[in-house]
Chains A and B, each alone.
Chain A
Amino acid sequence: MAKYLLLKHYRGAPEPVNNVPMDQWSQDEITAHIKYMNDFADKLKETGEFVDGQALEQTGTWVRYDGEGRPPVTDGPFAETKDLIAGWMVIDTDSYERALELAGELSAAPGKDGRPIHEWLEIRPFYGNAPTITE
């Protein structure tokens, strides 16, 4: 019973095995890929392990405070930013091993030629509640 964030990156992750950009796939390959992702989320809803899933646009801007009474400063987007997050899924599983298993399954989504992409996903545990009994 712990929550994990599965992070998918546009950029910044190590190279996947089946590394062909989506714009070089056939229509059917794209359809199959999207269906795989949706089916995966549906399956987790059925097993009672799904918490949330969202996709992010490919643009982003940096923002910071610029002092009392001034509007926040914005900058970017920086084309050279190394890390660009594409989306996430939050899962709630009985164990870390189960979370790894699910991340592995998500990473097997089909790409070019219907073969698994072997995409690298980042898995991050959420902080849990402070347990009542520790001593």
Chain B
Amino acid sequence: MDEALLRSLTPAVLGILVRRGADFAAAEDALQDALVEAVKAWPDDPPRDPKGWLVTAAWRKFLDATRSDTARRRREDVVNAEPERGPSPDTDDTLQLYFLCAHPSLTPSSAVALTLRAVGGLTTKQIAQAYLVPEATMAQRISRAKKTVGDVRFDQPGDVATLLRVLYLVFNEGYSGDVDLAAEAIRLTRRLATAIDHPEVSGLLALMLLHHARRASRTRDGALVPLAEQDRGQWDTRLIAEGVEILQAALARDRLGEFQAQAAIAALHADAFVAEETDWVQIVEWYDELLALTGSPVVRLNRAVAVGEADGPRAGLKALAELDESLPRYSAVAAYLHERDGDLRTAARLYVEAAGKASNLAERDYLTRQAARLNN
């Protein structure tokens, strides 16, 4: 049973159902039912044409549901109408589906859930487990999301920026649960990159690949390992090479965007065989680009770290002094720069403060260890 194949067919099949006249919500339900049937039937009787099999099964489910519906007549008009079967390449349908599931009218959590189900082909249960909420809660979230986009026309051009943010959110959720959300985000972004030609889509894909390449080295016995201390021998050079190649092609088009700039920074890190070889001067330049694009205070904070590496901790502290102390990770950055500057007492105090403000356990524990290291 090839679950990956099954899930890769999801968007195309859904697109066909919608083009045949099914409304999105009903088509999506029908496809979920068909997927469940496929999981049961395929191991004993693998279809010669998996996509055709799914389309037939899902369409039948849709008709069954429509017939049993009280609004029978209205729906039957739709069903009986001759479906349009003009040339509609899968890529178009897939792209429209991405846009619909990440529609700007949806909240981030709804868009994420709907994308994982309708585009990713995950079950509600899998998504619920990944986000640690009850299945019923996730089912409601998805059903409301479908209602929200119910009136959106399938052929409207979508908003690429919103879509990319949704995929970024999925990737950044990390690796908890049965479903590997990072790998799933990469799969969905790869697919998107084949359906639309856009430098920021490439930028996001490159960014994901470059970070994914460092995955094995990012934790040791469950504890966070900072970039400078990671075992670079564990980095996946194949993924890095792919990420760099995609990024270079995107940058060559001279339409810089946020994700390309972030990927460029990740590529510079990936390029150093040892941490000391990192080209911090270039990284600062990329942070300047990123800052010009976003104006984000978080970027300013990261830039202060890079300045600290490029021009020394005093310069980093000076850059930091211009920022708002309430920024997340401000204390952690301040602690690090003070330690590099030799003021261990202040650094230890700030590490404790940073641990108290951390928003995840791995960071809290890491920062607590830093304080303990300096205090002992």
Contact = CB atoms under 8 A, between A and B. Distances in A.
Interface in A79-119: 92, 94
B360 A128 contact: yes
A56 B127 CA distance: 30
Contact of B138 (A48, A52, A129): A48
A131 B174 CA distance: 6
A1 B108 contact: yes
B140 A47 contact: yes
Contacts of A135: 227, 265-266, 269, 302, 305
Interface string A121-135: 000010111111111
Interface in A1-18: 1, 3
Interface in B273-325: 302, 305
Interface stretch (B3-11, B92-100, B128-136, B334-342): B128-136
A20 interface: no
A47 B144 CA distance: 7
Given A1-B112, A132-B172, A133-B172, A48 B137 contact: yes
B76 to A, nearest CB: 30
B364 A127 contact: yes
Interface residues of A, number: 22
Nearest to B185: A132
B224 A130 contact: yes
A23 interface: no
Contacts of A3: 132
A23 B133 CA distance: 36
A50 B134 contact: yes
A51 interface: yes
Interface in B201-216: 207, 211-212
Contacts of A35: none
Contacts of A50: 133-134, 137
Contacts of B360: 127-131
B364 A132 contact: no
A58 to B, nearest CB: 27
A92 to B, nearest CB: 5
Contacts of B174: 129-132
A125 B359 contact: yes
Given A1-B131, A128-B359, A132-B211, A45 B172 contact: no
Nearest to B176: A129
Contacts of A130: 174, 224, 360-363
A132 B363 contact: no
Nearest to B215: A132
A29 interface: no
B140 A1 contact: no
Contacts of B224: 130
B133 A132 contact: no
Nearest to B361: A127
A89 to B, nearest CB: 12
A132 B269 CA distance: 15
Interface of A: 1, 3, 45-52, 92, 94, 125, 127-135
Given A48-B144, A51-B134, A130-B361, 7 more contacts: A1-B108, A48-B113, A48-B137, A48-B139, A50-B134, A50-B137, A135-B266
Interface of B: 107-110, 112-113, 131-134, 136-142, 144, 169, 171-176, 182, 207, 211-212, 224, 227, 262, 265-266, 269, 302, 305, 329, 358-364
12 contacts: A1-B131, A47-B141, A48-B140, A51-B132, A92-B133, A127-B359, A127-B360, A128-B360, A129-B174, A130-B362, A132-B173, A133-B207
